[in-house]
Amino acid sequence: MRSWLRVRAGLSATADGLFAAGLATLNLPVLTIWLAGLILSPLPVLGTDILTVAVTIVRWRADLERRLAARAGLPIRRPYPPPPKRSEVGDRLWVRWIITDPATWRDMAWLLPGALVAVCLGVITLAIPAYGLVGVGLLPLWLHLGEVRFGYGVFWPTMTTAEAWLSLPQGLVILAVGLVLAPLLRTTDVLFTQLFLAPTMSAELRLRVAHLTTTRTDTIDAQAAELRRIERDLHDGAQARLVSVAMTIGLAERLVRRDPSAALKLLAEARLSSTAALVELRHLVRGIHPPVLAERGLEGAVQALALSLPVKTPVASHLPGRLETSVESAVYFAVAETLANMVRHSRARSAWVTIGHTGDVLAVEVGDDGVGGADPARGTGLIGIMRRLNAFDGTMAVSSPPGGPTVVTMELPCALSSPKI
């Protein structure tokens, strides 16, 4: 099994290396377009549009290389800061922003050396296993065609049948070596690409600041929306019932001497209304911070939530301690929203929740065997979960191919505050 996996990895790396080499042939035309846009940028109006198109093409080419790097297991982040609005800053400042962007110049500087490295390594990646395949296929050709020189002095010196037989094991060895070297050559290409296309430390800092600004803004908006929801629920629910209770008790006070039986009926209605108001207040409190979460922690709260679902949902948890209250609340509601989406959309027969803590990272996995097809871009539920996790610098990954299964993985950097007793 391991041998097959290595062969598969070698074939995949060979294909990616060839694809990268093919894409590298686009680098020279892309560089030409960039230089043309830079030269024509002083032209009024038209020059700005040409430069904008040139930058778009350069970044498109760099993003293609970043996607290939991610396939190789070495993802490269996009280093570009958020662009200003052209309508607000004007054409002149827009051109200035493009020309002074260090990430764009690093992309441009990568185009030629990146093409040379990708082509050279791609040729080597293909040449070694291809040479091995020639040796493997030489014996059948020799036996079929008779005494033939198949590239004597260039490929395989096969003057006799015995030499043709020797080419088979030699070709297999060279083929195996080529498949083993292919991932290493591909990794070398990606590491060279990272020197140019990966964000610098200053770019990382800018991206971090931009990310924090966005996430904190989303958090403030979410908190404001939550406060408006609580205010609306209090105003339309418990507050209205309590006002009704007060009015009913006032009427009972007026009737208590004249018509005691009617007063008793009104008091009974007030008691029922107060009970209903108390139930609504309890539901509202659970929506803010469930009591089970404060009493039993994240594990117990998620287990209680799973027991209330219509599908079987086992919970596997490995938390040697308690999390911070804010983190527990965020993770609990994220899991609750994920399971609610599962019940509404997935048509699953079973689901599972796994909670673990390694180092300073809390990892939560929620999965089901439903129909799949979950996409954060097509609904607000998963986007809301992302925003909730972003407040704690958390991440969420969704794997949901058509036909299932759907697996939502959430990770938050956090430490255990105290051991469980």
Query: What share of the chain has pLDDT > 90, as a percent?
Result: 6
Query: Is residue 420's pLDDT more than 50?
Result: no
CA atoms within 13 A on the CB side of 384: 15
Q: What pLDDT score was predicted for residue 45? A: 67
Q: What pLDDT score was predicted for residue 118? A: 92
The pTM assigned to this predicted structure is 0.56
Confidence label for 350 from pLDDT (cuts 50, 70 and 90): confident
Query: What share of the chain has pLDDT > 70, as a percent?
Result: 77
Nearest to 355 by CA among 343, 347, 364, 346: 364
Query: Is residue 224's pLDDT more than 70?
Result: no
pLDDT in tens, 260-316: 787 778 777 777 777 777 776 666 665 556 677 777 778 888 888 888 888 888 888
Architecture of domain 295-419: 2-Layer Sandwich (3.30)
46 alpha-carbon distance from chain centroid: 38
Give one DSSP letter per residue of 194-235, joined into a string. Answer: HHHHS--HHHHHHHHHHHHHHHHHHHHHHHHHHHHHHHHHII
So where are the chain's domains? 2-197, 203-288, 295-419
Confidence label for 258 from pLDDT (cuts 50, 70 and 90): confident
